[in-house]
Amino acid sequence: MKRVLIALLAVGLVAVAACSGDTAEDEGPIKYGFLNGQSGDYGPWGHWALAAAEVAVEELNAGGGVLGRQVELVVEDNGSTPEGAVSGFAELTEVDGIHALGGIESDGMIAIFDTVHELQIPTICSTCGTTELDNTGGDMVFRIIPSDTDNGIVGAQVARDEGYRNVAMLVELSEGTESPANVFKAVFTEQMGGTITEDVRFNAGETTYAAQVAQAFESNPDAVYIAAGFETGVPILNEWQRRGYTDIPMIFTTDLLSPEIAEIVSGVEGASAIVGATAYDTENNPAWDAYVPRFEEKIGDPPEIAFYDAWQYDQYIILGLATVKAGTTDGAAVAAAISEIANPPGVEVFSYAQGLAELEAGNDIDYHGTTSNLNLNSVGNLLSPVMAVIHVEDGDWAVRENIELDPTLVKPS
Amino acid sequence: MTNPIFWVGVLTLAMIYASLAMSLNVESGWGGMWDLGIAGLLAAGSYCYVILTASDPDLGMRFAPGLSMWVAWPLSALFTGLVAFAIGAPALRLRREYFLITTLAFAEIIRQLVVIQADLTRGTVGIANINRPFDSFVTGRDYNYVLLGIAVVTAAVMYVVTRQVGISPFGRTLRAARDNEAVALALGKRVNRMRIKTFVLTGVLIGATAPVYLFYIRAISPQLFAPGITFTVWTALVIGGLGSIRGGLAGALVLIVFTEAVGLIEVDPAHINILVAIEPFLVGLLLVLVLRFRPDGLFSERSSFGAARRSAGDPAGDAARVAGG
């Protein structure tokens, strides 16, 4: 019993020693949480995501802060797991006292969705493609990237426009890859009359993908649709190259938009890969033009296409402007202001400083972000995003064109 | 001073892991069956609970009976026991590392079955809005105290049940068979049957803990049951003392509180990657230090059962019990 007491005492001391945080207060800095996978599956993107968030917070503070208070970015690693998201969110809310949250991914968002509403923490999901958010949200949770539903539909649209009638599928078994792939399959077959020659599903981390690659590429497809994380994509493409399937075009999902993948594809003569997904309307966009050099200064490299960093930036500019619009850090008021500053009517603005000036002049604003106009529908999702068609050009990914989602294509039931 | 609600959440998670570690101790500490399939059994219990309590037609699940959580909870425990039996029957023919690898493989098979059976489990998308007890009476932050109470009661039940198993003739025979199987067989003990019973019991206990884990996470998806959860339970048990009655409880408490306390270290956002790298290092260091200075863990098996015998007023040794039991 004595040892039990000693163990409990030791635990208590550790706990007390660790007690150093604050709770939300009306004075001091405004705290925006950044709950993101800095380790684990999403770790490879964490560095870019955090840098973009920091660029945004620096912009808020350079503009005089929010409501006259400096903004502090409170960072918490969720380990890319739902359990990490739950404990990380608890730490951000109960220890750090954040006023709003950004940075979270799909599975973590689903885990904290109810708690976010109970605690009234305005949350912007900048990396959540999950179809679970297609019909929920809009009161406390907002999503500023296209849903996996949109990504699946635009993938099918690109396949149709390229003239592919028979497509094989290679799909990694994870939420982020299966969701768009399932939509792609339903739209391509049911609404376009296309044929899936093979639907091959596989796990990440397998020793070899030889059988799966052969199964898909030898089914006489016009093209192969590959939905996978880039860690899995590399061995798949190595197998694709080794087996000489390089004359069959490929359609990728967003997660394969990595420099390593572009390098592999561009190194093979005659190979083609295309990505029809994600909102990336950066042409003649002042917000993008202002963001790129600051990101590059921060990290030493320009932003990679669709590495989620631009959305990480946008979400904190939105939160800053919404807090100013609300005139308070009260969660419900800030959440209500998010759609107001992101949607028309209002003066179009492309930075925090512009938005702040207009709000202080008593005008409504319509904030346009780095990659889209960020207009939101009633459930807090992007409203008809302009999608990008991205391909490999000169050894790297490049936007070939921007297209509107075909309104005749509908979300599968 | 940190809001106490945060530590309430930490203690809740610690109690959940304590329940899992105490369950694991029965088969691994006393039975000598080194099981790496904890995540699989937890997945079986969790999905059973979620499916049985699901009632929302919008979820598109082909079987959603919408049972009361009070009915689904014990059924989840029983179902996990059945799954453990299905795994144990073939796996327990193996020993040591072969058994270990087989249980790890079964856990992964369960996870893949969950992914494949998407019309029953919603596959990789998962399910949110988990039914939680008393949440119509207590809401918001205050529910954390209710959840802590549920987790503490669960851990207490696990402690009482596993302790009773440990000091019973069955538990003594189990440990004796672990230490010398040939002697146990020579004494007429049906070692294989005993091990299957132990494996099933562990499954039932993990299945009973599974809903509490879901009450904490509030959502379910296959990625929740990656092998990492198994290794966390094992780490807690090793820190606390493999084979000790209190080991799982103390180990989980120390491990989870320590891990969360490390996470509270404040660093500049630009250096978060350093903290992220240091966290597992510090947890590993904790494990090394415990094993260096207390090789049997915080509580040893020997002291544990010595104390149990003294509290029972019976100084007789295990060997005599086995011979008689």
DSSP secondary structure letters along A334-383? HHHHHHHHHSSSSEEE-SHHHHHHHHHTT--EEE--SSS---B-TTSSBS
pLDDT at B314: 55
Whether the per-residue pLDDT at B279 is higher than 50: the answer is: yes
At A356-367, the pLDDT tens digits run: 999 999 999 999
ipTM for this model: 0.87
Contacts of B55 (CB under 8 A, 6+ apart): B64, B65, B66
A275 lies in the same domain as A326: no
Rounded CA-CA distance A60/A114 in Å is 29
Residue A182: give its domain's CATH number: 3.40.50.2300
Whether the per-residue pLDDT at B189 is higher than 50: the answer is: yes
A-B C-beta contacts closer than 8 Å: 147
For the stretch A135-150, what's the b/e string if a residue is b when 16 or more beta carbons lie within 10 angstroms of its beta carbon? ebbbbbbbbbbbbbbb
> What share of chain A in percent tops pLDDT 90?
68
**What is the domain extent for residue A136?**
28-145+308-367
Whether the per-residue pLDDT at B196 is higher than 50: the answer is: yes
Question: Residue A296: inside a domain, yes or no?
Answer: no
Question: Residue A201: inside a domain, yes or no?
Answer: yes
* Fold assignment, B4-324: ABC transporter involved in vitamin B12 uptake, BtuC (1.10.3470)
B 296-315: CB under 8 A from A: 298-299
Mean pLDDT of all residues in A402-406:
87
pLDDT at B323: 44
A111 touches chain B (CB under 8 A): yes
Question: Residue A413: inside a domain, yes or no?
Answer: no
Task: Compute the radius of gyration of chain B from its Cα atoms.
Answer: 20
Confidence of residue A312 (pLDDT cuts 50, 70, 90): very high
Query: Which of A87, A107, A114 comes nearest B223 by C-beta?
Result: A107
Tokens 């512009």 label which residue? A354
Mean pLDDT of all residues in A87-108:
95
CA distance B32 to chain A (A): 25
Q: Which residue, B321, B22, B24, is CA-closest to B173?
A: B321
pLDDT at A105: 92
A19 touches chain B (CB under 8 A): yes
Query: Which of A47, A54, A174 comes nearest B273 by C-beta?
Result: A47
pLDDT at B324: 41
CA distance B127 to chain A (A): 8
Whether the per-residue pLDDT at B4 is higher than 60: the answer is: yes
Q: Which residue, A278, A15, A247, is CA-closest to B6?
A: A15
pLDDT at B138: 92
A77 → chain B, closest CA residue: B276
Using DSSP's 3-state secondary structure scheme, residue A276 falls into strand
CA angle B51, A109, B229 (to 5 degrees): 65
Rounded CA-CA distance A141/A98 in Å is 15
CA distance B252 to chain A (A): 11
The ranges assigned to domains in chain B are 4-324
Alpha helices, DSSP H only, in A218-285? Answer: 230-242, 259-266
A 49-78: CB under 8 A from B: 50, 53-54, 73, 75-77
Whether the per-residue pLDDT at A72 is higher than 70: the answer is: yes
Question: Residue A121: inside a domain, yes or no?
Answer: yes
At A8-53, the pLDDT tens digits run: 545 554 444 444 444 455 679 999 999 999 988 888 888 899 999 9
pLDDT at A198: 97
What residues of chain A lie within 8 A of the CB of B10, using their CB?
15, 87, 90
Confidence of residue B307 (pLDDT cuts 50, 70, 90): low
Rounded CA-CA distance A356/A374 in Å is 17
Q: What string of DSSP letters covers B181-230?
A: HHHHHHTT--HHHHHHHHHHHHHHHHHHHHHHHHHHH-EE-GGGGSTHHH
A220 lies in the same domain as A340: no
pLDDT at A17: 45
Asked if B257 lies within 8 A of A15 by C-beta distance, the reply is yes
A246 lies in the same domain as A393: yes
pLDDT at A361: 97
Mean pLDDT of all residues in B141-146:
94
What residues of chain B lie within 8 A of the CB of A131, using their CB?
125
Mean pLDDT of all residues in A210-227:
96
Q: Tell me the pLDDT of chain B averaged across its residues.
A: 91
Asked if B140 lies within 8 A of A119 by C-beta distance, the reply is yes
Q: Which residue, A179, A186, A164, A138, is CA-closest to A411?
A: A186
Confidence of residue B95 (pLDDT cuts 50, 70, 90): confident
Query: Which of A95, A114, A115 comes nearest B6 by C-beta?
Result: A95
A141 lies in the same domain as A153: no
A161 lies in the same domain as A130: no
Confidence of residue A3 (pLDDT cuts 50, 70, 90): low
Which has the minimum average pLDDT: A151-155, A358-362, A401-405, B206-210? A401-405
B 176-215: CB under 8 A from A: none
A175 lies in the same domain as A154: yes
A216 lies in the same domain as A141: no
At A59-70, the pLDDT tens digits run: 999 999 999 999
Rounded CA-CA distance B42/B203 in Å is 8
Whether the per-residue pLDDT at B129 is higher than 90: the answer is: no
A180 lies in the same domain as A268: yes
Confidence of residue B259 (pLDDT cuts 50, 70, 90): very high
At B5-19, the pLDDT tens digits run: 999 999 999 999 999
Mean pLDDT of all residues in B200-224:
97
Question: Residue A354: inside a domain, yes or no?
Answer: yes
CA distance B296 to chain A (A): 14
CA angle B233, B277, B144 (to 5 degrees): 50
pLDDT at B157: 98
Domain count, chain A: 2
pLDDT at A18: 46
B10 touches chain A (CB under 8 A): yes
Asked if B217 lies within 8 A of A86 by C-beta distance, the reply is yes
Q: Which residue, B49, B85, B101, is CA-closest to B227?
A: B101
Asked if B246 lies within 8 A of A107 by C-beta distance, the reply is no
Query: Which of A18, A38, A95 comes nearest B272 by C-beta?
Result: A38
Mean pLDDT of all residues in A162-178:
94
Whether the per-residue pLDDT at A6 is higher than 60: the answer is: no
Whether the per-residue pLDDT at B312 is higher than 70: the answer is: no
A100 lies in the same domain as A246: no
Other CB atoms within a 10 A radius of the CB of residue A413 amount to 6
Mean pLDDT of all residues in B88-104:
90
Mean pLDDT of all residues in B53-64:
88
- Note if the bond before A345 is cis, omega within 30 degrees: yes
A166 lies in the same domain as A274: yes
Rounded CA-CA distance A348/A365 in Å is 6
A211 lies in the same domain as A312: no
Whether the per-residue pLDDT at A5 is higher than 60: the answer is: no
A255 touches chain B (CB under 8 A): no
A88 lies in the same domain as A174: no
Asked if A20 lies within 8 A of B270 by C-beta distance, the reply is no
Confidence of residue B321 (pLDDT cuts 50, 70, 90): very low
Backbone angles phi, psi at B254, to 5 degrees: -65, -45
Asked if A77 lies within 8 A of B275 by C-beta distance, the reply is yes
Rounded CA-CA distance B28/B23 in Å is 9
What residues of chain B lie within 8 A of the CB of A94, using their CB?
2-3, 5-6, 9
Mean pLDDT of all residues in A121-143:
93
